[in-house]
Amino acid sequence: MGDDGVPRPSHLPGALVRDLRLVMEELESVLGRADESGASGIAVSASQLRVLLALERTSGLNLRELGEAVGSAPSALSRLCARLEAMGFVQRLPSAQSGREIELQLTPHASAYLREFRARREKALALVLESVSPAGIKALGAGLSALHVALAAHAEARVPGADGNWAPRSA
């Protein structure tokens, strides 16, 4: 347990965790401004974005599978998907495997939105990174690679529980 009451492995300095949190908060601010400057005038919530990204990764998920992918309860997810459908981002289609199930797929409008969304965010990040030294960029790249690996391992080791919260996988 760190001095701040946050549990962490003994090799992980509390200052690093705090600094990463501060950087993430500042990044959220920079990216939030980029998100608000979209030419489409459409904004999606964080929950809606998670759904769009999950469907982009794996098209044709049903509500149960999508719930597992984003860690959300089916009732809340159904309303969220209805809203995305009304926005023209998601379409519900009969499942090829079962006539009783519905598959969810992104529309071309959603794919275009995600391309524009990413382009705005990358432009905002590039503007910030312009002031970082080449050595800093190299160190950042190495750190991001390690963080990406850790995030993938973390996601793989967790599953959604019956209460909708994510919990460690049991062996």
Residue 104 has pLDDT above 90, yes or no: yes
Would you put residue 5 in left (φ > 0), alpha (ψ -120 to 50) or beta?
A: left
Per residue in 53-87, pLDDT (tens digit) is 999 999 889 988 999 999 888 888 999 999 999 99
Q: How many CB atoms lie within 10 A of CB 136?
A: 11
Confidence of residue 103 (pLDDT cuts 50, 70, 90): very high
Q: Any idea which residue has 């090799």 for tokens?
A: 11
Which has the closest alpha carbon to 33: 126, 121, 129, 130?
A: 121
CATH number of 14-131: 1.10.10.10
Could you tell me the end-to-end alpha-carbon distance of the chain, in angstroms, rounded to an integer?
Answer: 24
Q: What number is the average pLDDT over the span 147-151? A: 90
pTM of the model: 0.75
Q: Which two tokens stand for residue 38?
A: 């979209």
The answer to whether the beta carbons of residues 106 and 85 sit under 8 Å apart is no
The domain limits of the chain are 14-131
The answer to whether the beta carbons of residues 81 and 51 sit under 8 Å apart is yes
What pLDDT is recorded for position 45?
A: 87
Q: Any idea which residue has 């965790």 for tokens?
A: 17
